[in-house]
Structure 1
Amino acid sequence: MDTGTHLLIGATLGGLAISLTDPALISHSTAVYGLFAATIIGSNAPDFDTVIRIRGYKSYLQHHRGFSHSLPMLAGWPLVLAPLIALAFHAWAYLLPIFLWTMAGVMFHVFLDLFNAYGVQCFRPVSRRWFHADIIPIFDPILFSLHAAGLLLWVFDVFGTAAVFPLVYALTFLFIGCRLLIGRFMLQLVRRRYGTAGYSFLIPRGLPHEWKYVHETGQAYITGSIRGLTLKEEAIFEKGEQNDIIQAVMGSDGVRTFLRFTHRVHISCQKLQDGYKVELRDVRFRHGHDLPFGMDVMLDERLQVIGDTIGWRKKMWEPPYA
């Protein structure tokens, strides 16, 4: 999810912590502030790995949502952060609940990231595979609005924590479940149209009745959108034939990093004045007839890799948002 949603959910998770915690503990203001800090920091801790961006986008792509979101770090982040939070808020006596709610924030962060199309390496070190359930967009306006409304109802003292936050989280899990069922239904629509011979998957959009889809055949990636029960085919990206130029880039470190992140790639190549350029594009992130996320690899006339670039070929404010 986006950073704003993680911050908001950290705050509402703090409200849930208060509603479920022993009232005797809540009578201590240090414990209350410590719990809120625990859930907000825990809800954002896995994304602290974004500092790797200073080493370049290739390192960012390789490490972001990797070890920081892994199985060991579900406990690793709370073990590091909880003592610091308890110390900062003079709440050492409440270290255990602060630890547990920090862990809740970390786990819910990874849980939500798992449902995006971007994916997460949440089962490291057991598996380095990227997992993505393709159910919730990076920014979900309904989920954001639900948590924002719950927080505002509490801040303006319309309802207490016990009335607001358990309901907010019950509705959150209900919404995710509905998204999952709708996604499965939409995927069946795609498979009924194109058959089961190829491979089909969805890319969630902002509203539950709107999705993008990709259907892979042996020759092409067929892409389109779904609105309600209507499928609209929008662009076809031919795979083309494998050749010596494309094969020459497959062993480079940059390409291996990119292919670990995405398994559905449209590849093309072109002759330059003094060599070749191979373009690899992730078909999940499409806008119209363009695939703006990918990698360009430059080769000389002897098919030796001489450079590469990786990232987005679009403005930050332009779709798709991932």
Structure 2
Amino acid sequence: MDSITQAALGASIAGSIAGKTLGRSALLTGALLGTLPDLDVIIDYGSAVANFTQHRGFSHSLLVLMPVSFLIAWGLWRWKPLLGYGRWLALVGLILVTHPLLDAFTTYGTQLFWPFGQPVAVSSIFIIDPLYTLPLLAGCIAFLYQPPAARVINAGLTLSTLYLAWTLAAQQTVMERIRPVLAQAGLEQAQLLVQPMPFNTLLWRVTAVTPEQRAEAVVGLLDGDTGPSLEYFPRRPDLAQAVTGFPEAERLAWFTHGFVQYQQAGQHILATDIRLGIPGAHPFTFTLAQDSGQGWQPVTSARAPRPPLNREALPLLWQRITGETPVLCLATLSVPPQGGSC
């Protein structure tokens, strides 16, 4: 999740556990601890793909954060012994553990068990979701105004947790709605990703991939009887084969669970993480290989410029959420003619 949300979550947990004892300083302590795991972004791992895939790595691993909690709690206890070591440990441990757990609900991926296993990505909440964050901020504001505001800050934590549970229920509803459509299209065996569109959990993006093609759909919980409409995008299995065995290509495929789109641009092969963003506006594209004249050779990956945000399309998202617009074409972020399809 975004830094504001993580800071608000950490501050809320600290206020709930230690607000009566530490006062307003509990919020600052919790906010700082809540952003601590994300400081890994300052590390340069030597290439664009490495920086992309190492983020949310060791600093988000439960196997690292749990033992580190004991050390940080001991240091804070020596600093302010007014709060017992047990409560410091509960405060630090909960904040450091909930940070990666919350991140795991997003699509990016969180290496909860680094250095073992693949990243965990539940994909039930967008990286910025006001309905999750606002209850936490409300509790923190109430605490600052009149500490310890225990009821308000605990209510914020409860509401945000219930909202997170709602995202799972909404995601499951969309999955049940899209599976018959995919089966009818012969895509019942396709690898499936269901994730919310930006800033909400009423409108969802569905991505189904096979080696030869991928299908995308926008599904709204307020669609009524309107069935999802699939858009098809070709894939380049020849380019995927060309970079097979290249370390950075393998790393990117591992990190994205295979949701990678390859394309050729001149003498280079580019790879795009198609989980993030939307077609035509994916933020993470990397150069992986170059034609040396004797075949494709790996290169140190570089990130391509981020595509500009189409602000004119944002009102269409709201119209699609409410059901006013029954179909939204992802490829162009436009509405087809009445009765037409993408």
| 2:336 matched residue in structure 1 | none
**CA distance in 2: counterparts of 1:279 and 1:54, whole angstroms:** 20
State which of 242, 263, 270 in structure 2 corresponds to 1:268: 263
Asked if the contact 2:284/2:303 (under 8 Å) is kept, the reply is yes
Once the two structures are TM-superposed, the CA of residue 166 in structure 1 deviates from its matched residue by 2.0
State which of 74, 85, 99 in structure 1 corresponds to 2:89: 99
State which of 232, 239, 243 in structure 2 corresponds to 1:236: 232
Once the two structures are TM-superposed, the CA of residue 105 in structure 1 deviates from its matched residue by 0.3
Q: 1:306 to 1:122 in 2, by over 3 A?
A: closer
Structure 1 unmatched ranges of 5 or more: none
The 5 A counterparts of 1:33-52 are 35-52=26-43
State which of 50, 56, 68 in structure 2 corresponds to 1:77: 68
Q: Secondary structure at the match of 1:119?
A: coil
Higher-strand-fraction structure:
1
Bigger shift: residues 2-11 or 215-224: 215-224
| Count, aligned residues | 301
| 1:123 matched residue in structure 2 | 113
Asked if the contact 1:283/1:291 (under 8 Å) is kept, the reply is yes
Once the two structures are TM-superposed, the CA of residue 145 in structure 1 deviates from its matched residue by 1.2
**CA distance in 2: counterparts of 1:118 and 1:316, whole angstroms:** 20
| 2:203 matched residue in structure 1 | 210
Q: Secondary structure at the match of 1:201?
A: strand
Once the two structures are TM-superposed, the CA of residue 285 in structure 1 deviates from its matched residue by 2.0
Structure 2 unmatched ranges of 5 or more: 312-342
Asked if the contact 2:49/2:286 (under 8 Å) is kept, the reply is no
Asked if the contact 2:281/2:309 (under 8 Å) is kept, the reply is no
Asked if the contact 1:42/1:103 (under 8 Å) is kept, the reply is no
Tell me whether 1:278 sits opposite 2:275 in the alignment: no
Q: Secondary structure at the match of 2:109?
A: coil
Residues 65-113 of structure 1, C-alpha deviations (whole Å, 9 max, x = no match): 11111122232332342233334x4437633322221111011101100
**CA distance in 1: counterparts of 2:77 and 2:47, whole angstroms:** 35
Once the two structures are TM-superposed, the CA of residue 54 in structure 1 deviates from its matched residue by 7.0
Asked if the contact 2:7/2:30 (under 8 Å) is kept, the reply is no
Once the two structures are TM-superposed, the CA of residue 45 in structure 1 deviates from its matched residue by 2.0
Q: 1:247 is matched by which residue type in structure 2?
A: Q
Tell me whether 1:187 sits opposite 2:212 in the alignment: no
| 2:314 matched residue in structure 1 | none
- Using the aligned pairs only, state the percent identity: 19
**CA distance in 2: counterparts of 1:252 and 1:76, whole angstroms:** 35
State which of 44, 48, 69 in structure 2 corresponds to 1:57: 48
Q: 1:14 is matched by which residue type in structure 2?
A: A
TM-score by length of 1: 0.82
**CA distance in 2: counterparts of 1:168 and 1:237, whole angstroms:** 42
**CA distance in 1: counterparts of 2:162 and 2:233, whole angstroms:** 36
| 1:137 matched residue in structure 2 | 126
**CA distance in 2: counterparts of 1:14 and 1:307, whole angstroms:** 46
**CA distance in 1: counterparts of 2:234 and 2:294, whole angstroms:** 26
Residues 136-182 of structure 1, C-alpha deviations (whole Å, 9 max, x = no match): 1111111111111222233233x853311222222122111111101
State which of 150, 154, 171 in structure 2 corresponds to 1:166: 154
Q: Secondary structure at the match of 1:278?
A: strand
**CA distance in 2: counterparts of 1:98 and 1:207, whole angstroms:** 35
Q: Secondary structure at the match of 1:130?
A: coil
Asked if the contact 2:106/2:121 (under 8 Å) is kept, the reply is yes
| 1:225 matched residue in structure 2 | 218
Q: 1:174 to 1:266 in 2, by over 3 A?
A: same
Q: 4+ runs of 1 displaced by more than 6 Å?
A: 316-319
**CA distance in 2: counterparts of 1:220 and 1:40, whole angstroms:** 44
Asked if the contact 2:15/2:30 (under 8 Å) is kept, the reply is no
**CA distance in 1: counterparts of 2:245 and 2:210, whole angstroms:** 25
Residues 27-75 of structure 1, C-alpha deviations (whole Å, 9 max, x = no match): xxxx446744553233222212112147443332232111111122232
**CA distance in 2: counterparts of 1:91 and 1:316, whole angstroms:** 51
Asked if the contact 2:214/2:233 (under 8 Å) is kept, the reply is yes
Q: 1:309 is matched by which residue type in structure 2?
A: S
Q: 1:211 is matched by which residue type in structure 2?
A: W
